[in-house]
Structure 1
Amino acid sequence: MNKAVFLDRDGVLNKELGDYVCTLADFQVLEHNYEPLKQLHDAGYLLIVVTNQGGLAKGWYTEATLQSMHTELRRQFAMHGVEFAEIYYCNHHPEYTGNCFCRKPGSLLLEKAIARFNIDKNKACFIGDRERDVEAGEKAGIKGILIDSDQPLSEVLHLVPGFSV
């Protein structure tokens, strides 16, 4: 079985703007998280992004724009030796598309990844900057770690199950 760290996107991997990141120009990767994620990657943790992207349902940006942001995210982290096993996103918004199970605090995307990548729930966690991230992790049976938006992940590495700094 594999160990994994699930990561929210906005406010964890890229700068939190307070609302949706709608353009590639506004997408700013948090460079202070290159090293801590490299440490996790080098220690054998799968890094999996799970993000709500309700702006798609609202029509505020397109799938193509979202993919360009994710391509840039992968590119910048790869230059520092970090690879994301997968990026999952929910493209729904309750006011536009109704309720779904994949939008956090729903746990469907985490459960899919846990099954797909054969993840040991005791060696996994979800790091996010909103209570809904922690709640989604706990619903999926993994530890939730709440951080402040844009907080360096180096400050919470000691909380990752099975990881020693």
Structure 2
Amino acid sequence: MNKAIFLDRDGVLNKELGDYVCTMQEFQVLEHNFKPLKELQDRGFLLIVVTNQGGLAKGWYTEKTLQSMHTELQRQYAAHGVEFTEIYYCNHHPEYTSNCFCRKPGSLLLEKAIARFDIDKSKSYFIGDRDRDVEAGEKAGVTGILIDSDQPISEILHLITA
């Protein structure tokens, strides 16, 4: 079985703006997380992004813009040897679409990844900057780690064993 680090996007991998990141100009990758994520990858963890993108439901940005952001995220991290196994996102928002199970704190996207990549939940973690990230991780059976927005992941590496 594999072990994984699940990662929220905004505030963990790219700069938190306090609201939705709607344009490529606003999308700023957090360079201080290149090295710790490479270390986790070298320790055998799959790196999987799970992000709420309710701005899609609100019409604040398009799927094309979101894909451009994810391509840029992957490009910049890959330049430092970091590969994301997959990027999952929920495009729903409760004010604009019916209730779903994929929007965090729902755990459906994590559960899909756990099944798809044969992940050992007991050796896996979810790093996020919101309580809903930790809650989604714990619902899926992985250990949640709450960080401050834009906090370097290097500061919490000691919490990740195996």
TM-score, with structure 1 as normaliser: 0.97
Equivalent residues of 1:126, 1:134 under 8 A apart: yes
- Structure 1 runs, 4 residues or longer, greater than 2 Å off: none
Contact in 2 for aligned 1:49/1:87 (Cα 8 Å): yes
Q: In the alignment, which residue of structure 2 is the partner of 1:101?
A: 101
Q: 2:160 matched to which residue of 1?
A: 160
Is the counterpart of residue 9 in structure 1 residue 14 in structure 2? no
- Give the C-alpha shift of residue 159 in structure 1: 1.1
The equivalent residue for 2:121 is 121
Q: How far apart, CA to CA, are the structure 1 residues paired with 2:160 and 2:97?
A: 34
2-structure distance, mates of 1:74, 1:138 = 26
- 1:22 has 2:19 as partner: no
Number of aligned residue pairs:
162
Paired residue type of 2:154: S
Deviation per residue, 1:58-113 (Å, 9 max, x gap): 00000000000000000000000000000000000000002100000000000000
Q: TM-score scaled by structure 2? A: 0.99
The correspondence of residues 40-59 of structure 1 with structure 2, limited to 5 A, is 40-59=40-59
- Report the identity percentage: 83
* 2: CA distance, partners of 1:158 / 1:68: 33
Determine if the alignment matches structure 1 residue 130 to structure 2 residue 122. no
How do 1:76-115 residues align onto structure 2 when only pairs under 5 Å count? 76-115=76-115
What is the distance in 1 between the residues matched to 2:11 and 2:21? 11
Give the partner amino acid of 1:146. Answer: L
2:150 paired residue number = 150
- Between the aligned partners of 2:98 and 2:32, the Cα distance in structure 1 is 36
